[in-house]
Structure 1
């Protein structure tokens, strides 16, 4: 949460599922949801210790937290996640599809391999699509729901470093619009596209430590690279009643980095 602000309570009593909530942006979204009154299902695939830490932060705000392990790159894994979430909560008001693979170890398009291509596409495209598909179907049955898919501003400029990552984030926009049309008017589906964030993983990258951070700040009109906590509330805005007339939409939050000139 940004210093000096107070949570609004806009999710009081709501049940929210956040995928990839063991670390980074997912953990920040899960905690922010709890600050705003939600019970949270914390999903993880391999970062069990991180998921447990996130759950503790949720409970510290007096909210219920459940931990669910699933590999969302497979349909069986997504079905398991969906079943466990609805079994635990009875209802799911909001799904935040945060989990994604940014191919962080890939420093050039020349480093692309069949393994890195399949991994990113399986997690970012197939995982997001299947979670939207399975949770959305159950939300239709229950009569309400909102899904926020986490995209990226890489869709504006592409990525010379990791083309498969840019391709996957473009795909998220397409699948979001498709399901938004299919699920309307009962379930809203939107994309939140953050720019660069300073996460623990980002800080550990060699290029970040050798000048990339300073270069990006110089290119950002707001002159700041935010921590995940600073953007979590913005992502959740799309699931709130304040966004009740937004579906199939895209919100970019990058400090003006990709601002289009006249």
Structure 2
């Protein structure tokens, strides 16, 4: 991080933002950052981490926005329909949706350890769940006449994953659904992917492989020389929902410190 952090811009004045999986980690930081950037209302979605969602909501309020909590299992279509209806009602319409929920199969250390249960769960959450959210919230954004959706992807689609092939497959699916709905919703609603590289969330820092040398190895392989925490990347993720990105849809934007540099 810079020695003197730049002032936080006010890119969401008067707007409403909902972030899925905002009880912890990257989702929590995106929700708080939206409030810091002037959002009038922030929706904090969670599935089971109600205590974490309450903490995020308190931080959102401290930053000057109103906070609304929404509980739903994103792989259940009826629950997503109900959440979308509730969000548009309680938030007074919705300007921005950030689909942050995803399963990276964090506990799996090798492709040899893959299980059918893990394949089903990762694909259900990362592909089906995100698709349902884009479908339901995006349809309502079309009706209101505007909106922007940011799906949190991963640079795993650049290099694949020998550790968790199901995760890489799911994130490829995320890219396909993003491009499809970007076409379907244009020009009224934009749909993009923000792809962070490695992020030092609490969950990542607690992984055994990370503590036993992988974190240090990845830092040494990253041109920027470090792995950021989630708060540092929250503003970059939200960029895709700003007016400066008004001509961007169906895009895949990377922020990984140069780790996965690829040619044009």
TM-score normalised to structure 2 length: 0.97
2:37 alignment partner in structure 1: 36
Contact 2:150–2:241 (CA<8 Å) still a contact in 1?
yes
Distance 1:166 1:79 in 2: 27
- Structure-2 residue corresponding to 1:220: 222
Ranges of 4+ aligned residues in structure 1 off by more than 3 Å: none
- Please give the alpha-carbon distance, in whole angstroms, between the structure 2 residues aligned to 1:176 and 1:29: 20
Q: Which residue of 2 aligns with 1:16?
A: 17
Q: How many residues are matched?
A: 262
Q: 1:221, 1:109 → 2: CA distance?
A: 27
Gaps of 5+ in 1: none
Q: Of 68, 71, 74, which residue of structure 2 is paired with 1:69?
A: 71
> Which of 57, 60, 66 does residue 58 from structure 1 map onto?
60
Structure 1 residue 260, shift from structure 2 partner: 2.7
Task: Indicate if the aligned counterparts of 2:68 and 2:91 stay in contact, CA closer than 8 A.
Answer: no
Quick check: 2:17–2:43 contact (8 Å CA) kept in 1? yes
Computed over aligned residues only, the root mean square deviation of the Cα atoms, in angstroms, reads 1.2
* TM-score, normalised with respect to structure 1: 0.98
Alignment of 1:12-161 (within 5 A): 12-38=13-39, 39-161=41-163
Give the secondary-structure state (helix, strand or coil) at the position aligned to 2:109.
coil
Within-5 A mapping of 1:185-224: 185-224=187-226
The separation in 2 between residues aligned to 1:69 and 1:82, in whole angstroms, is 11
**Aligned partner of 2:169 among 152, 164, 167:** 167
Mapped to 1, the partners of 2:101 and 2:192 lie a distance apart of 15
Cα deviation for residue 167 of structure 1 reads: 0.4
Q: Report the secondary structure of 1:100's partner residue.
A: coil
* CA displacement, residues 107-144 of structure 1 (integer Å, 9 cap, x when unaligned): 11111111111111111000111100000000000000
Residues 191-220 of structure 1 deviation map (CA, whole Å, 9 limit, x = unaligned): 000000000000110000000011001110
Aligned to 1:6: 7
Distance 1:184 1:176 in 2: 12
- Mark the runs of 5 or more structure 2 residues left unpaired by the alignment: none
Q: 1:207 aligns to what SS in structure 2?
A: helix
Q: Distance in 1 between matches of 2:56 and 2:198?
A: 22
